[in-house]
Amino acid sequence: MGKKYKLTNETKTIVVDGKEIVLHRIFSLKNIRPRFTDSAGNLIEDPIYMVPKGFHGGYIESEENLSQEGNAWVDTYGYVYGNARVLDDATVSGLSEVGGNAVICGDTFVGFRAKLTSGVYKDVDVYGSKVIERGKNFTVIKPNVDNSDFDF
pLDDT, tens digit, 9 for 90 and up, residues 25-84: 999 999 998 766 555 556 666 666 688 999 999 999 999 999 999 999 999 899 999 999
pLDDT surpassing 70 at residue 19: yes
Domain boundaries, the chain: 5-143
pTM to 2 decimal places: 0.82
Give CA–CA dist 94/9, Å, rounded. Answer: 22
Cα–Cα distance, 132 to 105 (Å, whole number): 14
Separation in Å, CA 109 to CA 7, 24, 119, 138: 22, 21, 15, 18
On the question of pLDDT at 9 being above 70, the answer is yes
Q: Is residue 144 scored above 50 in pLDDT?
A: no
The percent of residues in the chain predicted with pLDDT above 70, rounded, is: 77
- The mean of the pLDDT values for the chain is 84
Is pLDDT at 125 greater than 50 in this prediction?
yes
Phi-psi sector, 43: left (phi>0), alpha (psi -120 to 50), beta: beta
**More confident of the two residues 49 and 135:** 49
Running DSSP on this structure, what letter comes out for residue 119?
A: S
Lowest-pLDDT range of 28-37, 77-86, 104-113, 115-124: 28-37
Query: E strands, the chain, where?
Result: 5-16, 19-28, 56-60, 73-74, 79-80, 85-86, 91-92, 97-98, 103-105, 109-111, 115-116, 120-122, 124-127, 130-134, 139-143
Q: SS3 of 63, please? A: helix
The torsion defined by the Cα of 78, 76, 92 and 148, in degrees rounded to 10, comes to 40
Closest CA to 127 of 138, 115, 139: 115
Residue 135's pLDDT band (cuts 50, 70, 90): low
